[in-house]
Amino acid sequence: MAKDSEKKTCGQVMDEWKEFFWNPRTHEFLGRTASSWGLILLFYLIFYICLAGMFALTMYVMLLTLDDYNPTYRDRLATPGMMIQPKGKALEIVYNIEDTESWDMYVHSLNTFLSTYNDSHQALSNKECTPNELFTQADSGDIKNNPKRSCQFNRTILEACSGLTDPYYGYDVGKPCVLVKLNRVIGMLPGKNNQSPNVTCKVKKDNENAVRELSFYPPDAAFNIMYFPYYGKKSQVNYSQPLVAVKFQNISVNTDVSVECKINSEAIANPTSERDKFAGRVSFKLRINQKV
């Protein structure tokens, strides 16, 4: 144990720290001379420049392998996902017929979503295709056939769910419309032997009798194969996803109704996993409240 006489005073400690920061005799700053600091800073400068150069070169080589119009690597799902419009909160469409504000947001959502499907907009942007035929647009070797055309999907195809004849999509009278769409997958051919995949909807077992009549638009409830294959957002800038509208003509009020819509096609694998609730199907809850 050091004796009290050997202990350094506060002034001595401060002097040692001052000398460490700057030693006027040796001209050292933090224990190094100017030349020593210069050499070490030069070393790290060259080191980080080389490191940045290697990173830039790696990124450049990687970017050379990418195609601006088609992903080089992608996980192709055996069964594409499905979604509805309007989505509501957590795929729940709940409203009160007497309360206009409760269903106005669904009407507004459908109007916004369908605005690009107006016939006039489709006529200007897209091509009138031949139904039941794949709209294939192959490239000529290394020459890309871009931008690629897209087929028209006119809003009028949805008839009673187009928002043109009924601006409220049936929500004001308890006969709501729900739009079903298939998620985009580049290069997917959902049809087989010129057969377009179609959509079927059913009420889950809890309330099988809650829905007594469904109407589909187009009437065959199909995604016509003329809208496939899809070539990507950059290749087909004006691509319009085909839609199927489901109108609930006769549904029990004040009841939670669980509905499941799914895609049916020989070219698409049937959903096999209960973990992915959106693979080839979509489930949502519909509840219409009304004073009795």
pLDDT digits (tens, 9 = 90+) for 78-127: 778 899 999 888 899 999 999 999 999 999 999 999 999 999 999 999 99
Domain annotation covers residue 76: no
Domain annotation covers residue 246: yes
Residues 260, 174 within the same domain: yes
Q: Model's pTM, two decimal places?
A: 0.77
Task: Provide the pLDDT confidence category of residue 1 given band limits of 50, 70 and 90.
Answer: very low
Residues 135, 46 within the same domain: no
Residues 25, 140 within the same domain: no
What is the SS3 assignment for 188?
coil
Residues 147, 278 within the same domain: yes
Residues 19, 118 within the same domain: no
pLDDT digits (tens, 9 = 90+) for 189-245: 888 888 899 999 998 877 778 888 999 999 999 999 999 999 888 888 899 999 999
Domain annotation covers residue 72: no
Domain around 38: 11-64
Evaluate if residue 16 carries a pLDDT over 60: yes
- Contacts of residue 202, defined as CB under 8 A and 6 or more positions apart, other chains included, come to 259, 260
The residue with tokens 């009924």 is 166
Task: Provide the pLDDT confidence category of residue 140 given band limits of 50, 70 and 90.
Answer: confident
Evaluate if residue 277 carries a pLDDT over 70: no
End-to-end distance of the chain based on CA atoms, in angstroms?
A: 93
Q: Can you give the pLDDT at residue 275?
A: 62
pLDDT digits (tens, 9 = 90+) for 25-43: 777 777 678 888 888 889 9
